[in-house]
Amino acid sequence: MSSELLVYIDGEYYPKSQAKISVYDHGFLYGDGVFEGIREYNGIVFKLKEHIDRLYRSAHAIALQIPLTKEEMTKAVVETLRKNKMRDSYIRLVVSRGVGDLGLDPRKCPKPTVIVITDTINIRAGNAKETGITTMFSWVRRNPVDATTHEIKSLNYLNSVMAKIEANACGVDEAICLEASGCVAEGVGENVFIVKNGEILTPPTATGALAGITAEVVSMLCEKLGIKLTVANITPFMMFNADEAFFTGTAMELVPIREVNKRQIGDGKPGPITKLLMAEFQKVIENPANGTRI
């Protein structure tokens, strides 16, 4: 038996090296599809229901009819993890428009493609949680909400890729994208939070940011801990002068930001509120009640 990881494609399992889709798939040709990144910790798929609900919301927004029920999609994720005997893994759930012709008309794609990948991921630099990461405001603005909005977790991530290219070229760990009016939207794949005078601010998703599942956990933790959290526009000036700042995301979890465009945030170290939330978040992911058991 192959020792390769197995990948689920449309109800069948293929070794990683043989897991392929057609070059005529509109997910490949046009980025026409949706996806989710999900974490599994010690046999518990964290917030699986919430991720699958968001996947179906994104699909609905682009008029993509997923050929599985939510229950069937949940079973596909769990079964793929079981077959691969995975623990502490990263799951990539993809639904593309499917195979069509070289035109972009979705009506030419009779059947969406469903893919479940279970593997590992590491997107943090070194000991990022202990020291914080460096960031910069990218020239790449977030697409507006009446275009390919990042409220939809679509396969078209070129907007984020271009910002990441700039961050790489400038030698910083991550980029922060602004929305059309110049306020903070989000990172290339993360939600942004700042702390000022003991209170937390985060941008509205109405500016084009994705409604993050990890961000929602942070919101619930703030309510539990009695920390005031306000959804409001954040200007670059406000970010430069924050006491603390941090990113949240499924792969990244919670990571402190120590610098933006060479301006030190606070004292340049993870702040007390950020560290408290990181510790509390760890308790959340360790609680089996917050996920789906394999």
Catalytic residues: 153
User: Identity (one letter) of the amino acid at 264?
Assistant: Q
Please determine, for residue 123, whether its predicted confidence score (pLDDT) is greater than 70: no
Q: Phi and psi dihedrals of 43, rounded to 5? A: 85, 5
Q: What is the rounded average pLDDT for all residues in the chain?
A: 95
User: Identity (one letter) of the amino acid at 231?
Assistant: V
User: Identity (one letter) of the amino acid at 35?
Assistant: F
What span, in angstroms and rounded, lies between the C-alpha atoms of 291 and 105? 38
Q: Where are the beta strands (DSSP E) in 205-277?
A: 229-231, 244-249, 253-260, 263-264
Q: Which helix (H) or strand (E) holds 12?
A: strand 12-15
Query: Of 12, 151, 38, which is closest to residue 93 (Cα–Cα)?
Result: 38
Q: Phi and psi dihedrals of 191, rounded to 5? A: -85, 155
Q: What share of the chain is helix, strand, coil (3-state, %, to 5)?
A: 35, 30, 40
262 and 220 Cβ atoms separated by less than 8 Å: no
Please determine, for residue 59, whether its predicted confidence score (pLDDT) is greater than 50: yes
Mean pLDDT of 218-242: 98
- Structurally, at CATH architecture level, domain 6-119 sits in 2-Layer Sandwich (3.30)
Write out the two tokens for 135.
């960031």
Distance of CA 170 to the CA centre of its chain: 23
Cα distances (angstroms) measured from residue 237 to each of 189, 215, 241, 265, 286: 22, 22, 6, 11, 37
Is residue 9 helix, strand or coil? Answer: strand
Please determine, for residue 88, whether its predicted confidence score (pLDDT) is greater than 70: yes
Provide the residue ranges of all domains of the chain, joining segments of one domain with +.
Answer: 6-119, 128-286
Concatenating the DSSP letter of every residue in 77-99 gives HHHHHHHHT-SSEEEEEEEE--B
pLDDT confidence tier of residue 57, bands split at 50, 70 and 90:
very high
Write out the two tokens for 37.
């990144």
User: Identity (one letter) of the amino acid at 99?
Assistant: V
What span, in angstroms and rounded, lies between the C-alpha atoms of 257 and 269? 8
**How much is the pLDDT for 3?**
83
pLDDT digits (tens, 9 = 90+) for 30-45: 999 999 999 999 999 9
**How much is the pLDDT for 205?**
92
What does the CA dihedral 180, 185, 186, 188 come to, rounded to 10 degrees? -10
200 and 193 Cβ atoms separated by less than 8 Å: yes
**How much is the pLDDT for 289?**
94
High-pLDDT (> 90) share of the chain, %: 92
Mean pLDDT of 268-274: 97
* 175-212 residues labelled b (16+ CB within 10 A) or e (exposed): bbbbbeeebbbbbbbbbbbbbbeeebbbbebebbbbeb
**How much is the pLDDT for 273?**
98
**How much is the pLDDT for 247?**
98
Same fold, 6-119 and 128-286: no
pLDDT digits (tens, 9 = 90+) for 152-205: 999 999 999 999 999 999 999 999 999 999 999 999 999 999 999 999 999 999
Please determine, for residue 1, whether its predicted confidence score (pLDDT) is greater than 50: no
- Structurally, at CATH architecture level, domain 128-286 sits in Alpha-Beta Barrel (3.20)
User: Identity (one letter) of the amino acid at 100?
Assistant: G
pLDDT confidence tier of residue 126, bands split at 50, 70 and 90:
low
What span, in angstroms and rounded, lies between the C-alpha atoms of 292 and 294? 6
What span, in angstroms and rounded, lies between the C-alpha atoms of 223 and 31? 38
